[in-house]
Chain A
Amino acid sequence: MKRRPPTAVAIMAALAVAMVALPLVGLLLRTPWPDLGPVLASPDVRQALVLSAECSVGALGVSVVLGVPLAWILARVSFPGRSLVRALVTLPMVLPPVVGGVALLFAFGRRGLVGQYLAGVPGFPSPFTTGAVVLAEAFVAMPFLVITAEAGLRQMDQRFEEAAATLGAGPWRRFWTVTLPLVAPSLAAGATLCWARALGEFGATITFAGNLPGRTQTTPTAIYVLLESNPEHAVAVSLVLLTVSLAALIGLRQRWLGAL
């Protein structure tokens, strides 16, 4: 049965689409297409793009190494306070990123909770360093990986692990050869979401890591600065992030959105 929507509903829905689409159209219209190549190759822009790529991949790495074991424990181990831990680690998804940045400052700053003891230790992510960018991005993005991976681990038929055990596979072998391959689609989706979120991170990064070109200036913070000084460049770089987001969306399409 085909149904004609009430006029008022149709108008609201059309406005909703316009609200999302118009800014994107505006961005595309303002894009300096002929100069796109030279703009993206200019040193300040290139520097920000490269740093963004490096830091977002670093944040993804941190999230995978720490987040997957966490997801496994949340999915498989029953312990008191589990829902509390789950709520805590997913908090950054709803926390205003700037608040996250402030919190990171008070933890890792020179006088912070752990910073007062560890500042100066090589590799410690002190504020306003590239390490701080990675930490801020991971702080905000890791929950996306954790909840997706946890859901995948819960949905997986654990009897496959039992079958592996009866075939002589110990816990590690079971994890690498059975669990991981079976939850790979969830992990890939979670990793994509996590990386895309890290790439776009702004609030926590600029608060905790600052905006030093070449050291902590990522693409989003660069766009923010360029909008004042060089709007054409800001538009061009925005287009890059838009393209990346679109690519991530297409990559997730099959798993998350069905037929798009």
Chain B
Amino acid sequence: MTLHARVALELGAMNLDLELDAERAGILAIAGPNGAGKTTLLRALAGLLAIDRGRVELDGEVLDDTTSGIHLEPEVRPVAVVFQDYLLFPHLSALENVAYGLRSRGASRSAARQEAGTWLERVGVAGMAAERPRGLSGGQAQRVALARALATRPALLLLDEPLAAIDVSARAALRRDLRTHLTGADGVRIVVTHDPLDAMAMADRLVVMESGRIIQQGTLQEVTARPRSRWVAQLVGLNLYRGTASGNLITLPEGHQIRVTGETQGSAFAVVHPRAVSLHRQRPEGSPRNVWPGQVDGIDFEGDRVRVEVGGPVGVVAEVTPQAATELRLAEGGRVWVTIKATEFEVYPT
């Protein structure tokens, strides 16, 4: 199954013009800053927006072709969407929400309910079948929305910021589950996200969008090796560690240990943003659980902030203000102490 889309569309200030190919194998993330046109593209693929020029073809079936005037309505496209705020029907139970798509496509009431029950079980919320959406937590609602979309067995599954409405504390677990369910699904799967972590954790291929254009695409490694946009640079700029987790300790290959929060076991990623890394001239006393010495390997002035590369037992990039950089008398080769609170690390299994 493959998707070939050539889409040009103007909508207010948004000017979308791109060509997108997606294979059945693997999960594709469309990432980029807010306002890049990701959601607009998704709505166009779902048929909710008519395109001005272009052609969309899914498994050889033409969904849109402006030269021959073809535009299939959303209801006849083999496309399902998990919307950003899920849009579960508030007047239907979780089970009826999942059964809705099956009923629309001709299943009998009992067959649809039975299959919907199986899907709820599969995503782990079978116990909430009778609950209305207002009685569901964010994570449960997301799972129901996923089940509702998967139940129609779409040839193209589109997820719009599936984790945006989820608490940070519940995110890592949901992200992992989502990846599992997506991996098990058939068809082309596209996740739209503005969160680099979501993109890195869920996708095999990455398409980076900015201002309605695709500016980079490829495997995660390809995209992150040579950033071609500020957004990707930021994605790469994250401090990402891979090690073996045991409870709230992560042991890096070099033997250094990072203290984090939560309980994780086995191979794991730990991510911390440069903003969360503090630098000191003397060994500080205080609450941060991660303290280690290092030397300044590089200083980059980026407008209102300074990115400081610190070498040592654990390489890290810190982001400080120009004032702080002056007060610390930062210079290349100088000694500094690095502190990071355990709570600033986001940890997720590999």
Binding site for B on A (CB under 8 A): 157, 159-160, 162-170, 173, 177-178, 181-182
Contact = CB atoms under 8 A, between A and B. Distances in A.
B73 A168 contact: no
Nearest to B84: A159
Interface string B82-114: 010001011100000000110011000000000
B3 to A, nearest CB: 16
Given A162-B87, A164-B89, 4 more contacts: A162-B74, A165-B48, A167-B100, A167-B152
B80 interface: yes
Contacts of B74: 162, 165-166
A159 B87 contact: yes
A78 to B, nearest CB: 16
Interface in B62-84: 73-77, 79-81, 83
A177 B75 contact: no
Interface string B142-173: 00000010001000000000000000000000
Given A159-B83, A162-B74, A163-B81, A168 B101 contact: yes
Contacts of B79: 166
Among A159, A165, A169, A181, find the residue whose CB has the most chain B CB atoms closer than 10 A.
A165
Contacts of B76: 168
Contacts, number: 55
Contact of B83 (A163, A178, A182): A163
Nearest to A170: B75
B73 A165 contact: yes
21 contacts: A160-B89, A162-B87, A163-B81, A163-B89, A165-B75, A166-B47, A166-B74, A166-B77, A166-B79, A166-B81, A167-B104, A167-B152, A168-B75, A168-B101, A168-B105, A169-B75, A169-B100, A169-B104, A170-B75, A182-B90, A182-B91
Contacts of A167: 75, 80, 100-101, 104, 148, 152
Interface of B: 46-48, 73-77, 79-81, 83, 87, 89-91, 100-101, 104-105, 148, 152
A182 B100 CA distance: 15
B190 to A, nearest CB: 14
Given A159-B87, A182-B91, A166 B73 contact: no
A169 B87 CA distance: 15
B127 to A, nearest CB: 23
Contacts of A165: 47-48, 73-75
Contacts of B83: 159, 163
